[in-house]
Amino acid sequence: MVGKLARFLAPIALAAVAVGVYLIIHSTVVPRTAAGTNTSSVIVNNHRQPAAHHKAHRTPKFYVVKSGDTLSAISGKTGVSVSQLSTLNPSLANAPNSLQTGQRLRLRH
């Protein structure tokens, strides 16, 4: 009787351990805002550290236009407003619909 019960409890225990490990790992993941950037600080080992130390998460300086891109689509992908894109890229102010594949757009100073 114990052998039959153990045969069913072992997979349940294994699944419980897997779920526990998953929850522990994902509870330390850095929360993100709607634009996809980090929040103001990162919690590591229950200590707050400024996000400025994590250069890998900074917005890139340029975006390379792909086929089919529009200013609003680029704005959504990068988190930079259309007006800010126009300000940083004077060529867009004159002809906003003249994006060309391969064109580099400045995203920040």
Based on the fold, state whether residues 52 and 73 are members of the same structural domain: no
Question: For 38-74, what is each residue's pLDDT tens digit?
Answer: 554 555 555 555 555 555 556 678 999 999 999 899 9
Q: What is the CATH number of the domain that holds 83?
A: 3.10.350.10
- What range does the domain containing 69 cover? 59-106
Instruction: Look at residue 17 in the predicted model and tell me its pLDDT.
Output: 83
Q: Count structural domains, the chain.
A: 2
Based on the fold, state whether residues 11 and 31 are members of the same structural domain: yes
Residue 91 structure tokens: 């060529």
* pLDDT > 60? residue 28: yes
Neighbouring CB atoms inside 10 A of 76's CB total 14
Return d(Cα 98, Cα 91) in angstroms, integer. 9
* Among the listed residues 60, 53, 98, the one whose alpha carbon sits nearest the alpha carbon of residue 79: 60
Return d(Cα 22, Cα 28) in angstroms, integer. 10
Based on the fold, state whether residues 8 and 47 are members of the same structural domain: yes
* Among the listed residues 77, 64, 62, 65, the one whose alpha carbon sits nearest the alpha carbon of residue 108: 62
